[in-house]
Amino acid sequence: MNELRKAKLSDLAAINAIAESCPDLPRWSLAMLEAEITASKSYMAVWFQAGKVCGFGGFLRVLDEAQVTLIAVDAQERKRGLGKALMKHLIDTARGENLKKMTLEVSAANEAALNLYRHQGFEAVGRRPNFYHARGAQTDAILMDLIL
């Protein structure tokens, strides 16, 4: 059974395992992920399939905007449309809450994520030079917005 639903505390270990396995994802502590699941200003969803969490994504509500915080798919489940489904779910949820804009930042080196966001209608609106430091290299952050 496939299910796209709001994350529960019982999903925390699986979310953390996926997050730790993604080299392009900013490092979040277990406490930060737990807060993302439980805080009233946050929304986190999981893709639950074949008895396990295969991906997750979330946003933080700031005034009338949704700031995407994290989105990741288990390495074994990539290239199957789960990231697209998660992103669409986050967008639909934000629209359902009458939020006006969705924002995010992404590494300029993360082509898969950039393509995902562009296909969902996000547009680049800015750049933060040398923002990310991963695998011994510095990359810029691309700031992107989607008017909801």
Q: How many residues does the chain have?
A: 148
Q: Which two structure tokens, joined as six digits, stand for 24?
A: 């392009």
Q: Would residue 117 show up in a list of annotated catalytic residues for this protein?
A: yes
C-alpha span between 69 and 28 (Å, rounded): 10
C-alpha span between 34 and 20 (Å, rounded): 14
Q: Which of 36, 43, 77, 117 does the annotation list as catalytic?
A: 117
Q: Which of 105, 111, 123, 132 does the annotation list as catalytic?
A: 105
DSSP 76-134: GGTTSSHHHHHHHHHHHHHHHTT--EEEEEEETT-HHHHHHHHHTT-EEEEEEEEEEEE
- How far apart, in Å, are the Cα atoms of 47 and each of 8, 63, 121, 137, 139? 12, 27, 22, 31, 29
84, 106 contact by CB (below 8 A): no
Catalytic residues: 105, 117
